[in-house]
Amino acid sequence: MKNIKFISLFLISLNVFSQNNLGVLDDRSRIIISTYLPPNTDNNSTESTNLLKNKLDKIVTSNGIGGSSNSSRFIITSNIVVLNKEITPSAPPQHLLELEISFFIGDAVTGTKYSSVSKNIVGIGPSEIKAYLNAVNQIKPTDKIFVEFIKLGKDRIIEYYNSQCDFILKSAETAVSQNNFDDAIYQLTQVPEICKECYEKCMNNVIPVVQKKIDRDCSIKLLNATNLWNSNLDFNTANQVGEILNTIDPKSNCFKDVEILSKKIELRVKELDNRDWKLQLKQQQDDIDIQKASIQSARDIGVAYGNNQPKTITTYNIKGWW
């Protein structure tokens, strides 16, 4: 039997909204998926590759999974084997292909296969590639065979996070000690909410990390703003300083000093130039849930950081999966 095709999709940024039961999923609460096309797909056309990719995308999105541009250790892969090929005696003759299409979910770092399912499909067409396309096109993303396949894969991914939670927390702690707050926040916000115990531990840890980040950001910006103002006490410099101060989070521990500097500049500009200058600093909302706001900030930081990172996994271990 000739192996003519495989294609891989990579599950990333796994965030699933859950308590004891799953609630309504928003984009950030989904298991995230991105598509990877391996280089050794010479035996198939771009059209057939794109068609299979589209089918696999729909299989996962039909089972509560979202999409992203990044990749992680968890993948879903498809492998197609030709079981039989014939040319029919009809006029005009038709190419007939019997394909075994298999799907796999697993950890591409350790090479551990989590879940698999196969389906035999017959395709027919005026050429071999058309017969192949006809067969792939018959894959139904909502087919019930994919429900248990995806569920088992999800369950194993959840097991991974639950078993590795202490390592995730330790790695984030190391990043914080190096003032790499964005990386720590990114690691902590990658745990799916469906992994309830580990998720709660990570959220409890991420809130103080966010606070440390905005406190350090405040200290750096306040120092820069103070030095800039002291270098040239005029109206134009006041405006430049104002642009810096207006980017500082009002929840930061040095925000009182920000307000003091702002007031100092206002009085000095009035004294020197007899001009009005007043900076409208950001204000903290009293009616917001601080914990929810901090978690939302952490997610925003994690998403931005992740989107700016190069693909971290360059070699995918799927040996022995088929």
Gyration radius of the chain's alpha carbons: 27
Percentage of the chain lying above the pLDDT 90 cut:
45
Q: Give the pLDDT confidence score for residue 27 in this predicted structure.
A: 42
Mean pLDDT comparison of 56-65, 215-224, 265-274, 283-292, highest-scoring range:
215-224
SS3 112: strand
pLDDT for position 42: 44
Kindly report the pTM of this predicted structure: 0.69
In the chain, the amino acid numbered 246 is N
**What pLDDT score does 52 carry?**
83
Give me the residue spans of the domains in the chain.
2-160
pLDDT tens for 162-180 read: 899 999 999 999 999 999 9
Predicted confidence (pLDDT) at residue 126 exceeds the cutoff of 60: yes
d(CA 102, CA 246): 55
How far apart CA 143 and CA 161 sit, in angstroms, is: 28
Q: What class has domain 2-160?
A: alpha beta
Determine the average pLDDT of the residues in 99-115. Answer: 90
Report, as an integer, the average pLDDT of 98-118. Answer: 91
Residue 93: is the preceding peptide bond cis (ω within 30°)?
no
Both tokens of 37, joined, read: 């096309």
pLDDT digits (tens, 9 = 90+) for 23-56: 334 444 456 656 665 655 545 678 888 888 888 8
